[in-house]
Structures are given as C-alpha cells and as structure tokens.
Amino acid sequence: MIFKRTPSPYIKQNISVQQMMFMVLYALVPGALASFYFFGWGVLFNLLVAITVCLASEAIILRLRGRDVRHSLSDGSALITACLLALALPSLAPWWLVAIASFFAIAVAKQLYGGLGFNPFNPAMVGYIVVMISFPLQMTLWTAPMGVDGGWPDFMTTFNWVFLGKLPYDTTIDSISMATPIDLLKTQLSQYHDVFETRNNPEFSALFGSLSGTGWQWVNLLYLAGGIWLVKKQVVDWRIPVAFLASLLFIANLFAVMDYSTNSSALFHAFSGGTMLAAFFIATDPITACSTPRGRWIYGAGIGALVYIIRSWGGYPDGIAFAVVLMNMAAPLIDYYTRPKVYGKQDH
Amino acid sequence: MSIHDDKPTILRELSHFDGGLVLDGHKDLSTGKPVQPMPAVKQYIVPLQQHIGAISEPLVKVGDRVLKGQMIGRPGDLVSAAVHSPVSGTVTAIEEHAVPHISGLPDLCIFIENDFKDEWVKREPLGDEYNNRSSHQLRNLIRDAGIVGLGGAAFPAAVKQTEMNVHTLILNGVECEPYITCDDMLMREQAEQVLAGADIIGHVIKAQECVIAIEDNKPEAIAAMQAAVERDGTGFFRVQAVPTIYPSGGEKQLIKILTGREVPKGRLPAELNVLVHNVATAHAIHRAVYHDEPLISRIATVTGQGIAQPQNIEVLVGTPVKDCVEFCGGYTPQADELIMGGPMMGFSLPSDDTPLVKASNCLLVMAKDEIHYQQQHMPCIRCGHCVEVCPARLLPQQLYWYASSKNNDRVQEFDLFDCIECGCCAYVCPSDIPLVQYYRAAKTVIRQQERERKASDLARQRHEAHQARLERQKREREERLRKKREMLKDKEKGGEKDSKKAAIAAAIARAQAKKAEARKAQAGATEDKTAETEQEQSQDNTEKPTNP
Ligand code: SF4
Ligand code: SF4
C-alpha cells in the first residue's frame, strides 16, 4: 500500500490564529457595550465607519498585491484593528476622521509593510497618531457621559454631526461635547488648581464620579474583565498587561505620594482614558510586541512608564498611542538582548 | 575520570525542564493484550545501516546459507554496529531497497529467504560469568551483538559505555511520546530481565546506583519494576516516577528532571556523572549475555485508528512492515498515513514495503480524523506560544524567521543546532507553520555547506602548498646560480691571464647548470604529481559519507 508523506508532528493543539483573533473580539464586547451605554451613538458610528474602511482597504490592497483576499480577510485581524481604533477615538469624531485613521492603519501601517505578521508598529495606534497630530481639535470631541449634564445627544443629532457636520440651530459643538477627566485635570492644573480642588469642584464632581470618571471607570473595569478572560484563555501573554499596569501604578503612586496636590492617584490612572484597553488589547498585540519572555516584561513596563510621562508632562491628552508605538520601535532591540539562554548554557 | 565529583547526582526532589506539553496519551489503544510474538515470514530485509555511525560491511554473498543469529554485516568503523540474520535461510539479494529513514532514500539491504528451520549459530551464553569479565570484554560482546539504543536514536550502545566510573546509571523507561507502549509492556512483562541487563551495564561502567525513570502514567510498569527491585534487594536500583510531560523522555530533559542540572552545551551527560540507557537496550544486553543472542528482535507497538487490532508485537528485525500490519488485523478503511515512530517525532513512510529496523519502536497508522493535516499556513504572528513550550529554551519564531529567509548565519547564532526536533513548537503554533520541517531543512543545508567548505578549504590548501613548492624551487634554483656565478668570479679573480679559458669554463658551467636545472624541474614535477595524487586519495577517504 502506498501512503502520502507529510512532516511531523501529526497531532496538533486546536487553536488557530482566526480563533485567537475572534476571542479578542469577544473579549472586547463588554467594554464596548459600556462605551456605547455611556457615550452614545457616536461609538456605534465609529465602529461602523472603521470596520467598513478597514475591511475595504484590506481587501483592495490584498487584491492589488495578488493575495488570497478571502483567506486573509477571514483571519479577523483587520476587524480587531477597526474595533480598537473605533473604541479609542472620541465618540463625536466626524466620520472622515475615523475613515482617515482606518485607512492609514490598514493600508500604510499594515499592508505596506507586508501585511499580517510583518508590520512593526501597531496599525490601530499608527492610525490614531496620524489623526491626533493632524486634527487635534476633533480628537477632543467626547460627549458628556451618561448621567452627567444630560448625557449624550440623541440619534439624529449625533448622526447629522458625525456624517454631515451639521448641528441643530440652537446647539454648538461645545454644548454637546465635554472634556474627559484626564483633559480636564490637565487644564485645571495648568491654571494652578490642584487635584483635590478640581475633583471637589461641584461643577466637575459628577464627571469625576467615584473613582476615575463617570462612565470611564466602568468602561475600564469591563475591559479589565475581558482582558482577564483572554489571559486565562492564554490568548494574550499575561506578562505584558501585568508589567504595564504594575509600572504605571508604581510610578503614579510614587508621584502621588510625593505630591498629591498636583498628581492624580494611581487608581485614577489605572481606570481612566484608554488604560485597560491598551493594557490587554493594544500592548498585547503579539506582532508588534516583544516576543521573548523577559522582553515582554520590559516592553510592558516601558509602555506603562511612557503613558505616565506623556499623560503628566506631554502635550497630548492620553499617551497610550505614542507609548505603544515608541515601545514597538524598541521591541526588536529588546528581543535581541533578552534572548533566553539555551539548554546547557545556563549554569556553567 | 577525575572530572567527576563523587557526590550523589540524583535529587530526591524532582526538578523539571522548561517548556514541554501535556499530551493526550492514546496508550490504552495498544496495552490491552500481552506482547504477541509474531510468527516467522518468508522474506526478511535487513538494512546495513540501522544505527548512527558508519554503515556495516556485508559479510555474506548472494546465495550464501546463513544461520539465525549469524553476523552478516560487521561494524564499518569505530562508531557503527553489527547486523545479524534474523532467521536461518539463504541470502537472495544484496541491493538498495526502501528503508525507514526520514530522508526517504533507499539504502543497502541484505535479503534473506527464510527456510523455516530456525537453525541457530552456535551459542555460548556467558551468564553470571560476566561478573568476572572486564568492561572491555563486555563492551566487545555488546558491540558484536549489534546492540544500539532502542529508544529511537539507535546510537551504538558499546560506544556510549566507553564512559567509565559514572556514578549513576539512568534507565530510561519514560516513553513520553503518545501512542507508543513497547517499553511499558516490556517493563510490565520482563521487569527482571530489564534489571539484569541494567546490572550488566552498571558493571561495565562501574556505576554506583541505577535509577529507573518511568512516567507516572504507567502505574503497572512502575509496580512491576518496583516489585523486581524489591526482589533484587541489593539496593543498587531505585524506581523513580516522573511527571507525564512531553518530552521528559528526551535524554537531556530526563537528566534535568532527575539531577536538576543541565548537560553543558556540547558536552556529554558523563559530565554530570550520569549515563542514560533505554530499558529496551538493557533488555537486549541481557539477551546477549545470558542467551548469547544478538539483537535480532524487538518489541514494537503497532497502533493507531488505522490498524484493526492495535497491539505490541515481538518481531524480528527485518520483517517487512506490511507483514506486521497484516498480523495485527490489517488496515482499517480509515487508514491514512503510515508513520514510523510516534506522532510527535516520527516520520511517514511512503509505502509498507520497508522493513522494521532495530530503532523501530512504533508503527503508527493514523486515520483521517485523528491525524492533523497541515493546511495552508498563516504568517507567524509572533505570539510566543512556541517559546513557552520549547524544552531547549530556543526562540522558535526567530529560528523560523531566519530559516525561511535562508539566513544561515543568524539561524546558527540563534542556536539552531540545539533544537532537538521535539515538535512542541509546531504543536502549539496557531499559524500552523510546519516549524520543525524548516529547521530540519536548514540543518541539512548548513551541514552540506560545511562539507563543501571543508572540501574547498582542502583544495585551496593543496593549491597553496603547490605554489609554495614552486616558489621554493625557484628560490633554490636562483641560489644555486648565484653561487656558481660567485665561484666563477672568484676563479676569474685568481687567474686573470686566462680570461678566455675562464670564459669558456663559465659557459660550460652555465650550460651544465641549465641541464641540471631542467632535470631537477622534471623530477620536481613528478614529485608534485605523486604528492597530489596521494593527497587526493586521502581526501577521498575523508569524503566517504560516514553518517547520512
Ligand atoms: S507559535 Fe507560531 S505564530 Fe506563534 S510565534 Fe511561534 S511560530 Fe509564530
Ligand atoms: S522542535 Fe526544536 S525549536 Fe521546536 S520546541 Fe522542540 S527543541 Fe524547540
């Protein structure tokens, strides 16, 4: 009898890239729902635009490169980029801003470098940085969270603003948007109001909520929950989020202890802005992270430190995107110097 | 040897190695009934290369009658092994035939037609007498019996035992690969013979103790060995259960588990005062000493969903695979791939026409729904799952990156040659990349280049030597001429009146010198030639492939 020949091993653990990607997407769901609940229709529109543009750019470029479009699209990686971008961008971002970010993320940051597995920088974060630098004003357009100042605008108002740039005659964009807690603190501090004063100002106390901001704290908590599930399922490496959060908490606490009037508490940092989204879903993108075990500790800790530095002293509201891309750049070098010693080289 | 420290090497508390996998054993499939002796068949095919090292040299011709146990191939070199006839009968052919090797290339085999008379060569078992023999004598006996490591590597056992005064003999009964159960069954059924074999090895290497390591998924084997150890009562043996983690049966991994230390890169286990032998090898050595029986049979597991009656068989080396399958009830309709060895490190055979060899511990016929077929693979997403499971602490994703881009320097810098090809990385890779295949290919290419580089180095050296010789001859020639001229000049000075005579003499001298020079040059050229042919010959010798 004649048999076919294939290489060993002949048994295999059953988990594919596609399954891993979709598990990441499932883990995003609770946080995304909370985001929608607290920040309204804009979140949904962001998702719609980002998914459409990301998938379309991916498909077009794959076709231009003569690749198997179906096979590559179905891996779910473009979908993740789209969702991360949509959830990171402000809820009142105009549609074209989301579209530009999405196009850059997929076409430039991912496909120009050779597609999945070859991109050195996190595509979603590159897209984010491009629009942050080009359109700083639009990047601050968050709605007031549910429960603060009448919350987010209704469907039609949001739709008209996002897609047509129009507002009802008696409203201005300022009246439907509101600074995020991180932003607000920064401006207040620059006007010599300290943290304590700002947080207890009756005008702002509703926004700050009990921990780190109404809405924000819940969104972050739910991303944390999804992230823990991913770690448990071994879809993402636990070292990166742990190192990230530990370093951010440690540094934030250090400064808060030194001077609590001008530095927010460590918990505020952990649960505000995009911290948890970044810790479990963005920094853990394996393609652009370090791949050695020790390297991952350094990589995560580096992002945590950079986030704190940029948040506290940088010119941009949240430092996640820059922190991640900066560490992406350092990753190959870190990997090189953190190679594990092979068997037999260790204790001799 | 002085490098050994005498402190006990084996930890009471087990250590562990990095990485590894918990795999589904599928062992029950083949442990249902006792080992079945397989009846003799008509034709046997005995490959001359069944071991690591030089191929054996045939001792018989076509048409010769051979006896069972007769040596039909002698060791081709120091690292090599003898092969013996599994039955009495006639040599019908000595030619290339398909052999179970990962390369899939045919190799020289001796075909023997069984006369079913079962006539043995004359045997003189040594028995307990071995206690009075020297290590050297026993090693020769083991060597002549053609015994090689039966765990799969097939390294000549006698060569391994040249290590002396090793404190601890580790008997490897771990058997960590899924599906394979031949060592398990051997320990269950012949525990005492295994111990007796280990005792002989211990005598050869002058070991102080013997630890028998068995994976804790084989309680019956552990119990059987434990009982035998108690009956033995000398205190030399100890049974040690080890956790079921693939590849704990790898020599280096097992040593790490037991000693807590790693064999230094590029060194031998003796450095840590241990020597590892497989349980089946110990059993074979027992047969050789107590029955004067060379290695002509072994226990092999025939298993998988593609086999009608999975079981362990005691089978003669050289039995065609198809006969073994037939004995085990034949293929099931789902049979899809024929694998020699286990599902992690085995390799598939193109046909069942090949013989079973000394190293064949398992014939695995996998069905369509139990085998994993590699699909079109995705790019590496650098998830690092492979890093987590690699027992050699390599970075498989980097190795893959450099191996697939044919960057031979980098791939070696990342320690490609420390890869034990265990397959753990490929097993977990979500992108389904056939990683091990890339590593094997890269190793082959690099070894090939290394050989070519050596050959061209030799050619260059030869060329340089040749040039240097020519240079030297030229210098010598000039030196001689110069001397002659000086001599003449001196003469001239001495007798200026006779200048004419002197001129003539000088001319003659010049002519003579030229002639001499021509003669010399000719002689030199022939000398060169002989030197070159000699060198070529010696190079031919070194170029003979010793180890494919
Ligand atoms: S497991 Fe596969 S995909 Fe993941 S890093 Fe290793 S080679 Fe790449
Ligand atoms: S096959 Fe090689 S690289 Fe892969 S896990 Fe085993 S030792 Fe490591």
Percent of chain B at pLDDT exceeding 90: 56
**Residue type (1 letter), A67:** R
Cβ neighbors of B437 (< 8 A, separation 6 or more) are A7
Highest mean pLDDT among A148-157, A317-326, B317-326, B536-545: B317-326
Cβ neighbors of A291 (< 8 A, separation 6 or more) are A335, B382, B383, B384, B387, B395, B397, B398
Walk across the sheet containing B335-340 and list its strands: B36-37, B311-316, B297-303, B362-367, B335-340, B347-348
Which mutation among B248, B387, B394, B433 tests ligand 2's pocket best, with the greatest number of atoms within 8 A of CB?
A: B394
DSSP H or E run through B60: none
A146 and A21 share one domain: yes
Residue B457 has pLDDT above 90, yes or no: no
A30 and A141 share one domain: yes
A164 and A28 share one domain: yes
Q: What is the pLDDT of residue B2?
A: 37
Task: Locate B124 and state its tokens.
Answer: 């003189």
**pLDDT tens for residues A266-299?**
888 888 888 999 999 999 999 999 999 999 999 9
pLDDT-derived band of residue B522, with 50, 70 and 90 as boundaries?
A: low
pLDDT-derived band of residue A348, with 50, 70 and 90 as boundaries?
A: very low
Domain count, chain A: 2
Kindly report the nearest CA distance between residue B259 and chain A, in angstroms.
Answer: 13
Q: What is the mean pLDDT of residues A100-111?
A: 93
Q: Do B348 and A6 touch (CB under 8 A)?
A: yes
Task: Locate B240 and state its tokens.
Answer: 């040690």
Examine residue A128 and state whether it is found in any structural domain, yes or no: yes
Residues of B with CB below 8 A from A345's CB? 264-265
A213 SS3 class? coil
Examine residue A330 and state whether it is found in any structural domain, yes or no: yes
A160 and A81 share one domain: yes
Q: Is the peptide bond before A94 cis (omega within 30 degrees of 0)?
A: no
A86 and A233 share one domain: no
Q: What is the pLDDT of residue B523?
A: 52
Neighbours of B468 (CB within 10 A): 10
A118 and A169 share one domain: yes
Query: Which ligand has an atom closest to residue B394 CA?
Result: 2
A56 and A132 share one domain: yes
Residue B533 has pLDDT above 70, yes or no: no
Closest CA to A220 of A275, A139, A292, A294: A275
A30 and A171 share one domain: yes
Closest CA to B381 of B346, B422, B348, B428: B428
Task: Locate A284 and state its tokens.
Answer: 């853990």
pLDDT-derived band of residue A141, with 50, 70 and 90 as boundaries?
A: confident
What whole-number distance in Å separates Cα of residue A288 and Cα of residue A282? 10
Domain final position from A178, A200, A221 = A178
Examine residue A196 and state whether it is found in any structural domain, yes or no: no
Angle at CA B255, nearest 5°, toward B9 and A7? 175
Q: What is the pLDDT of residue B7?
A: 52
Residue B489 has pLDDT above 50, yes or no: yes
Residue B226 has pLDDT above 60, yes or no: yes
What whole-number distance in Å separates Cα of residue A269 and Cα of residue A307? 9
Arithmetic mean of pLDDT over chain A: 86
Q: What is the pLDDT of residue A281?
A: 95
Q: Is A6 on the interface with B (CB under 8 A)?
A: yes
Q: Do B350 and A344 touch (CB under 8 A)?
A: no
Q: Of the candidates B17, B346, B384, which has its C-beta nearest A8's C-beta?
A: B346
Q: What is the pLDDT of residue B54?
A: 87
Measured CA to CA in angstroms, residue B536 lies from B455, B462, B482, B529 at distances of: 11, 9, 37, 10
Q: What is the mean pLDDT of residues A145-161?
A: 75
Q: What is the mean pLDDT of residues A18-37?
A: 93
In terms of C-beta density within 10 A (0-12 exposed, 13-18 middle, 19 or more buried), how is residue A240 classed? buried
**pLDDT tens for residues A78-94?**
999 999 999 999 988 89
Q: Which of A172-181, B101-110, B373-382 has the lowest mean pLDDT?
A: A172-181
Q: What is the pLDDT of residue B328?
A: 94
Q: Which of A151-155, B317-321, B424-428 has the lowest mean pLDDT?
A: A151-155
What whole-number distance in Å separates Cα of residue B393 and Cα of residue A340? 6
**pLDDT tens for residues B9-24?**
666 678 888 889 999 9
In terms of C-beta density within 10 A (0-12 exposed, 13-18 middle, 19 or more buried), how is residue B473 classed? middle
Examine residue A331 and state whether it is found in any structural domain, yes or no: yes
Report the separation in Å between the CA atom of B258 and the middle of ligand 2, taken as the mean of its atom positions. Answer: 21
What whole-number distance in Å separates Cα of residue B224 and Cα of residue A252? 62
pTM of the model: 0.83
Q: What is the pLDDT of residue A318?
A: 76
Q: What is the pLDDT of residue B546?
A: 38
Examine residue A157 and state whether it is found in any structural domain, yes or no: yes
Examine residue A6 and state whether it is found in any structural domain, yes or no: no
Q: What is the pLDDT of residue B520?
A: 58
Give which of B256, B381, B418, B425 to mutate to test A binding, by max A Cβ within 10 Å. Answer: B381
Q: Do B427 and A12 touch (CB under 8 A)?
A: yes
Q: What is the pLDDT of residue A206?
A: 67
Residues of B with CB below 8 A from A118's CB? 379
Q: What is the pLDDT of residue B531?
A: 41
Residue of A nearest to B262 (CA): A344
Q: What is the pLDDT of residue B535?
A: 41
Q: Is the peptide bond before A293 cis (omega within 30 degrees of 0)?
A: no
Examine residue A285 and state whether it is found in any structural domain, yes or no: yes
Measured CA to CA in angstroms, residue B384 lies from A10, A293, B119 at distances of: 21, 8, 59
Residue B350 has pLDDT above 80, yes or no: yes
Closest approach atom of ligand 2 to CA B386:
5
Q: What is the pLDDT of residue B266?
A: 84
Domain final position from A154, A178, A202 = A178
Closest CA to A40 of A153, A141, A179: A153
Residue B215 has pLDDT above 80, yes or no: yes
Phi–psi pair at B138, nearest 5 degrees: -70, -40
Q: What is the pLDDT of residue B515?
A: 66
**pLDDT tens for residues B260-275?**
889 998 888 888 889 9
What whole-number distance in Å separates Cα of residue B205 and Cα of residue B207? 6
A172 and A67 share one domain: yes
Tracing tokens 């307990």 back to the chain, one arrives at B128
Task: Locate B325 and state its tokens.
Answer: 């399958």
Residue B527 has pLDDT above 60, yes or no: no
Q: Which of A191-205, A221-235, A320-334 has the lowest mean pLDDT?
A: A191-205
DSSP H or E run through B478: helix B435-494
Paired residues of B71 in beta bridges:
B84
A164 and A43 share one domain: yes
Alpha helices, DSSP H, located in B233-301: 251-259, 279-291
B359 SS3 class? coil
Q: What is the pLDDT of residue B180?
A: 95
- DSSP labels, A315-326: SSS--HHHHHHH
The residue among A213 and B358 whose pLDDT is bigger is B358
Cβ neighbors of B33 (< 8 A, separation 6 or more) are B311
The residue among A116 and A144 whose pLDDT is bigger is A116
CA B293 to chain centre: 23
Q: Which domains does chain B have, with CATH numbers?
A: 27-39+120-370 (3.40.50.11540), 377-497 (1.10.1060)
Q: Is A345 on the interface with B (CB under 8 A)?
A: yes
Domain with A166, as residue range(s), is 17-178
Under 8 Å CB pairs connecting chains A and B tally to 167
Task: Locate B222 and state its tokens.
Answer: 């552990």
Q: What is the pLDDT of residue B540?
A: 39
CB A266 within 8 A of CB A275: no
A99 and A231 share one domain: no
Q: Which of residues 197-236 of B touch A (CB under 8 A)?
A: none
Alpha helices, DSSP H, located in chain A: 17-39, 41-64, 69-73, 77-88, 95-103, 123-134, 155-159, 173-176, 181-190, 195-200, 205-208, 216-232, 239-258, 266-270, 275-277, 293-313, 320-337
What whole-number distance in Å separates Cα of residue A16 and Cα of residue A141? 38
Q: What is the mean pLDDT of residues B348-365?
A: 92
Domain final position from A133, A161, A178 = A178
Cβ neighbors of A293 (< 8 A, separation 6 or more) are A239, A338, A340, B384, B387, B388
A253 and A162 share one domain: no
In terms of C-beta density within 10 A (0-12 exposed, 13-18 middle, 19 or more buried), how is residue A291 classed? buried
Residue A190 has pLDDT above 80, yes or no: no
Examine residue A111 and state whether it is found in any structural domain, yes or no: yes
What whole-number distance in Å separates Cα of residue A151 and Cα of residue A170? 17
Cβ neighbors of B430 (< 8 A, separation 6 or more) are A15, A16, A17, A19, A20, B378, B381, B383, B385
Give ligand 1 pocket residues (Cβ under 6 A): B 380-386, 396-397, 400, 428-431, 433, 435
Q: Which of A101-110, B117-126, B450-459 has the lowest mean pLDDT?
A: B450-459
What whole-number distance in Å separates Cα of residue A302 and Cα of residue A312? 15
